[in-house]
Amino acid sequence: MPDRVVVRSPATIANLGPGFDCLGVALAWHNEIRVERDPGGELTVTAAGQGADDVPRDASNLTVRAIAAVLGEPRGIRVHCTNAIPFGRGFGSSAAAIVGGLVAARAFAPDAEVWDADTLVAAGAEMEGHADNVAPCVHGGAVVAAGRTIMPLGAPAGIEAVVCVAPMALATEAARRALPATIPLHEAAANAARAALLAASLALGDGSRLLAATEDVLHQPARFALMPGSGKIVAALRREGIAAFLAGAGPSVAALAPAGDLTGAEETVRRLAPDGWEVRRIPIDASGATVVEVA
């Protein structure tokens, strides 16, 4: 059994426009979690980086809860979280914390072979409430999550992301409460068609139809009423031909672009981003959460 395990877990974007609660993609933007055995000691949690002051230092910590799901009561361990992914911005920080804890704990588990990718996704989704962030965090690349059925699509070689990170956080629960209870059948059908087109585009690495494939009328209009600044950015980018959408539940904005158009897409996002919004060009992460050190 190792004494120390270090795991990198990627940021993720869910929904991707029309793929509400069913499409997600992993980004090469990582948190790092270090877990060390401390026989006879108590649980110790420390943190650095993004949101470090807000990270719980007890068993309520998401990473610790994930470790406990694999190993039982989390005594005799030290956990250190180095966070690069900001909280509450739409980039799957909670999924990264959960999956990082699960993958680290698997390295210590006597029944490690039981914790295959499907089991990790199921356990993470149980904690998270849905799989659209957890699944790409485990598998890397783009993933379709249809309830408990998960279909990894791989990392599209010809597509990357440009993100516009909001300076303020928004709780996912608040964004979900803004959603309508019903939508017209024709709008649901159109959204399903575009989600299928987007999944095919990602699977094939074909960026030629991304603008059409990322159009959404199911969840974004209601959320834009809650975060009008995000809506204005998405609308402005789409008018410029950029396949932009809310990152997850927002308030940040993301866009997918063919590799050959990335420089122009990044320049357009930088030109239209409001003051205080951070713009990043980020490749798709192909590996998912990965053990980078065992000692």
* Local structure of 264: helix, strand or coil: helix
Instruction: Read off the amino acid at residue 108.
Output: F
Q: Which pair of tokens denotes residue 78?
A: 């030290």
> Which pLDDT score, from 0 to 100, does residue 134 have?
97
Query: What are the extents of the domains in the chain?
Result: 4-154+285-294, 159-282
Kindly report, residue by residue over 74-87, the tens digit of the pLDDT: 888 999 999 999 99
Instruction: Read off the amino acid at residue 66.
Output: A
Mean pLDDT of the chain: 94
**CATH number of the 4-154+285-294 domain:** 3.30.230.10
Q: Which helix (H) or strand (E) holds 122?
A: helix 117-128
* Local structure of 27: helix, strand or coil: strand
Angle at which helix 93-108 crosses helix 62-71, to 10 degrees, equals 30
Instruction: Read off the amino acid at residue 128.
Output: E
Q: How confident is residue 1, by pLDDT bands cut at 50, 70 and 90?
A: confident
Q: Which helix (H) or strand (E) holds 63?
A: helix 62-71
Beta strands 44-49 and 253-258: pairing type?
Answer: unpaired
Question: Which residues lie below 8 Å from residue 295, measured CB to CB, with a gap of 6+?
Answer: 2, 3, 4, 5
> Which pLDDT score, from 0 to 100, does residue 259 have?
87
CA 77 to CA 191: how far, in whole Å?
46
Least confident of 19-23, 121-125, 177-181: 177-181
Q: Is the full-model pTM beyond 0.85?
A: yes
Kindly report, residue by residue over 247-280, the tens digit of the pLDDT: 999 999 999 999 889 899 999 999 999 999 999 9
Q: How confident is residue 35, by pLDDT bands cut at 50, 70 and 90?
A: very high
What distance, in Å, lies between the first and last C-alpha atoms of the chain? 9
> Which pLDDT score, from 0 to 100, does residue 174 have?
85
Kindly report, residue by residue over 56-104, the tens digit of the pLDDT: 999 999 999 999 999 988 888 999 999 999 999 999 999 999 999 999 9
**CATH number of the 159-282 domain:** 3.30.70.890
